[in-house]
Structure 1
Amino acid sequence: MAVFPLHALLLASVALGCVGMAGALAGFWWVLPVAVTVVIVVLVTAAARWLRLPSALVTVLGLAALILALTVVHVSDHALLGFIPTPGTLAAVGSLWSESGSFVARQSAPYEENAGLALVLSALVGLVAVFMETALLGLRMAGLACVGILALLVVPALTLPGSVSIWGLGAAILSALALLAGSRLWGATRLQHVAPTPGGLPRALLVIVGVLAVSLLVPTVMPGFFSGAFPQGSSFNSERAAGVGPLRAVGQGLRESERVQRFSYTTSDGQPKYMRLMSLSDFSQPEFFPQTDNLEEGLAGLADPETNPVSRENPVTTKVTFEDYNEHWLPAPYAPTEFAGIGTEGWSWNPRDLSVFSANSDMSGGTFTVTSSAPQATPDAMRSAAPSNANGDLADYLGVPDEMPESISSAARQFTAGTENDYDRALALQNGLRHNFQYDVNAPLAQGYDAGGMDSMEQFMETRTGYAGHFAPAMALMAREVSIPARVAIGYLPTAPVDDSRGGEQFQVGTGDAHAWPELYFQGVGWVRFEPTPGIPTTPEYAPESGNEPAQDASGQPDQTPSQEPSQPQEPTSEPTDEQSQPPAPGTPEPEDAQQEPSTALMIPLWVLVLGGVLLLLLPLAAVPRFVRGRRRRARLTDMADASLSPQDRANAAWNELEDLSVDHGGSPKASDTPRVRARRMAAGIPAASEAVDRIVSDMEHATYAAPDASWKPSASAADLGTVRNELTNRADRGQRLRATWWPASIFRR
């Protein structure tokens, strides 16, 4: 086996596999650290193979080389002498790893340069290189090594739709073909000359297990993935990748089987609020994301009427306490004018939508206070407002994407036919969606058009079924179609009040309260919220639904106790529902309908399903070695008793079974031993079966070395093999017996 040519082939294959990753990464900043890491791993493993070290030790050295490379390339300042890892090195690696998760959570792909992400990519590609080296040269299974190429394609495919270009796919195919051809050329493939190599089935099973392991492991170790349906990105960690946008995250929160409380708040007027995080205004990308450029550092400008020219009338103070919160965006009622209690470092705000951004995503346990003033929206003020499309500063909020479905445009024209002003058009759009579409948070996921981009909008208009992640951008796009500036806000619904420890009332917000709503701009009023989602039982007072009694004050805040999770009705319906999906307080009887709700009560976490599926697959696989060994034993015993076979074949069948019995119970025959010497080693440990061993080896010697004799017949029988097997089993300890039964070493012997 040509060690160095095979390692050069391995290096080239990994490089070709990385071509597919380039689609999710901006520029070539990642190439040098990844290349240095892989070269170090390949050089160390090549030297170890050349020295003929045991295969398992070569893999261990490859992993050690990977650790060394990551230390030197990424955290040398925190290592002893620049390359020896210390506890401080581990802490630095953990910090960079966490930083990478925060980076991909707040940035959209393709990703710019980031030190943490460079570390993660180097570790990932380095692990793949070690895996491929072990499969190619250690196990001599080039097909299994090709799974590593698949792993490198999984990352961009799950991070950014369409990121794996035809060039990346072509490079991966070329890499796999080169591995298969080179492994045969340079001796890394076990050639089959006459018959299939024994142990072919176990190696095939190993390939299957390798595919499953890599496919499940890669999304798990990559930070940035969040619970969801494959291939949107699924993992067991908690960070959300930019490949999974805020609208889709709303659906993920609504579908969570267990409610997780994110934060709680109290208000100076005692009323619950829509807690707003961010807004979406660019609908030209495959996935909709908030804009994080042109942010103002610090929060002092929010309190300045010149930089934040919103109304200061009827201010309300809201105190927020975080429980389990790991977002970068600060929840606050619209429109915020002042923040207190959060310090001055690490904060920035967007003058366009007044969202507040933090460089740190973990705010659990913190508190802050925000002062806000809601827009003074009334039907008369909005109906008499001048058209906003004449305002050049709002041009970005009027653009529609080139690929916008005609169904959205035609629906906008149909809903607004006969209206005379922007307010009446906005009201017609809201109520048109509420009356002609149905609410269902699970149907879009099941049918493959979960919220997030323009493709989902097209299918949403066809099925007329979705949730807030569909209704909000649909109304915003329709509003732009009829020349009303619009954007989409992401945040949390108002919730029902609960008693706090001090005898007052607070409002608790959890995963099930995630929501999205459109905001439309009116001259002299500002950005105004509308509610097109039919799952929300109430609309703002200034935007009443036909036949729906007003239930909110002039500021747009509810004055009645709202549903804790009003965006999760029991059944999809075009009419609003008053059912509340908030779990009842202790001692409150649960409604019968809620007890019969199958879509959320029976929902099983993704990781449980994955783990269960893997176990169901692996349990039968665990019995395969025993099955293969038993089948081989029965075939040999049948050959021994088959008079139609030659005496030589019958003698060889008995000898082969004797050798395998010895190997299964810990024997290690030497290639230089003669059959008689090998038999003597076997019989030494089982004296009670020495006569049976002598008969079997005598038959084998006679069949191999004696002159042909038509009258000769083997003297050994199946009973002799049974005696040997019983003696070996009785003298073996429990561990040896289990290995011989369930993982017999002979099936892996050539």
Structure 2
Amino acid sequence: MKRLPRNVTSDILVLSLLSLLGIIGYETSFGDLNFLLAALAGLVVGTLVAVAGTLWRLGVLTTVLLALAAYFLLGTPFTMPETAIFGVLPSLSSLAGLAYGAVFGWADIVTIGTPVEAPYYIAALPYFAAWLVSLVGTLLVTRWLPKRRTALRASVLVIGPALLYLSGILLGTDEAYFAGVRGVAFAVIALVWIAWHRGTTVEASGEGAKRLRRQKITGTSAVVAGAVAIGALAGIAFAPVSPDRFVLREEIVPPFDPLEFPSPLSGFRKYTKDLAEETLFTVRGLEPGDTLRLATMDSYTGRLWNVAGPEDVGADGGGYGIVGETLPEPGLADLGSRRDLEVEVGAYSDVWLPTVGYGSSLRLLDERSSANAGDLRYNPEAGTAVLTSGVDEGTHYELQANVQREPDTEDLLDVPVADLTLPIVENSPDVAEAKASEFAGDAASPIEQLRAIETALKTGGFLSHGLASDAVPSRAGHGADRITELFTRSQMVGDAEQYAAAMALMARDLGYPARVVMGFAPEISEGQEEVEVVGDDVTAWVEVAFEGVGWVSFRPTPDQVDVPKEETPKPKSEPQPQVRQPPRAEHTEDELIATVEIDETDDDDKDSPFKVPGWVWGTLAAIGIPAAIVFLPMLAVMLVKAARRRKRRTGPNERQAAAAWEELVDRYAELGFEPPAQATRLQSARALERQLGEQGLAAAMRTSGADATGPEPVALTALAATIDRDVFDGGSVPDEVVVHRWTEAEAATAAVTAAVGRVRRFISRYRIRSRR
């Protein structure tokens, strides 16, 4: 086994340092340096495999295959330790995450809200990036650069670390992480390293070598000083401020589309009619007056209020991005006291997660939801969360949040509404605008106008959920026709769905940024630890944004349920003449036959006592996939070698005798020796014996041959001379001679195989060499 030259080792260290400087830029995405463990593991694995491939004289393809195996086998404890078996061994989940993160992690990281903590495989991204750059760079350093050590080739090798540096910028945020320090350090190290390769092809000694070294030091220092000075001046003059930094997450729209799901407000009556007494959630940590926020809707189409889709959301509407446990902060909010909630879902089934205020962290606790943590989306401006894989009975999570401070009306008299860009309201009924002006009256400030509208609706309307027990029917829905009906009937009758929708439209007609929020308002007593939220607690309210304050809530739904009845005179009945009815026809159909349901379930689908538990399949997959990665390539190589051997044992005896030597040379090459490409058998034998002596294997071969049960191996030069005589004597070669030559070749091969050690024997099983 050869050793790496000192200059190659220094080149590898320089490339590793440059790669580390580049990948540290991922800190702005992950929020801290926890990802560095995965990145450093990627650097180490890629570098060591490339170095091992060079030292063991493996081909490039074999080295890459070995690197892939190391990537999967060694990556789990550094990227996904929680999914590892015994904390170290890869599992089916971690192997899938390593593959999925390398392919799709690039798209995920630019749509995930920072700090990036989900999906579970996201740490595979820096691991893969560092592994790939270090593997390719080290292969070039050990195999390509030594052939011609020039500044141009050194410049090519800097491309990999530079791409890592660039990816840290593009995948990060508009806040740079020590950009000046990292940039100057990267440039200085790269320039010094490249400049040091100038003139390495010039041979000099004595005084000439000293003079050449002085020139390189002087020139390199001048270049570095000039680069640092120019870079510093250019950075001061042209460096963008944080909001102007180009990052991909600002250009790419999150893929989640709320319009794929029904509007939460359209299902309002389901809670009051079908789930009125059902326990939807059990919540711990609520305080009196708290309301659970389910969904925030800022888009109206004329049929319903809905959450704006990614193409319609305004510049200030936020957006639903993938998040981890840490939730991003809202841009406009005056946050007050903190809530630590624990929510267990009961009869509720949808995709929206109930929250309170604006969350700071959300952790899924149950096994199913935790496995789908990558499906969690959060909108910090709306304060609402979505689990796209579904929320149903058994979902369990913890939420830390802060509630919005609610200022008094007097405190908002001189406060303007916020200047926000929200989705436009379409097809708003004309009566809403007319009623907005009527209810606002002579109020001057926005808060007075909004409170006047809230009071007019709350005191002038009546509450009805459209139940059979209600005195007056109330139609569901909040489209333009239903809002028109609300205002044009003799009495305003509806529930929170209609009143909140109507007030939000009226506020929008006045030019104020308003939205509808649907949620639950359970009764909470002082000191109550656990609250059961039922369907009858459902409600909706309106929020309007005020400058520097945040979203202030308005609750226009009235409490009055006794709707005055309208007296309408009954029409007088007029007697009708009697008409003889025809006789009743007899039905002859057989109505006594009962419907029989036939069980068509296939017997194979029924439970079997021999059904294999899921954990068994998981364990088999966790062990079988790594084993397949290691042993399937080995099996393929063994089959190719067996076919090669069978082919050489066919044909004339002279050819079979010569093929015995070809088989020996190929086996030696696969063990890491370097037989001459163009040489006679004697020349090849001498070259191989010389390498055996240089590596100290000659004595070990004699020992292993003496201990073996087969024939003692002959010297390679003697075997080569004997085969030359068999081939060139001109006479026929007997069958027993062919068998003897193959036996001698196999003995020589077996002796060297035993002498080289386990590692080289193992690697040789992956190598194929056909000597032409």
Q: TM-score, length-normalised on structure 2?
A: 0.35
Q: TM-score, length-normalised on structure 1?
A: 0.36
**Bigger radius of gyration:** 2
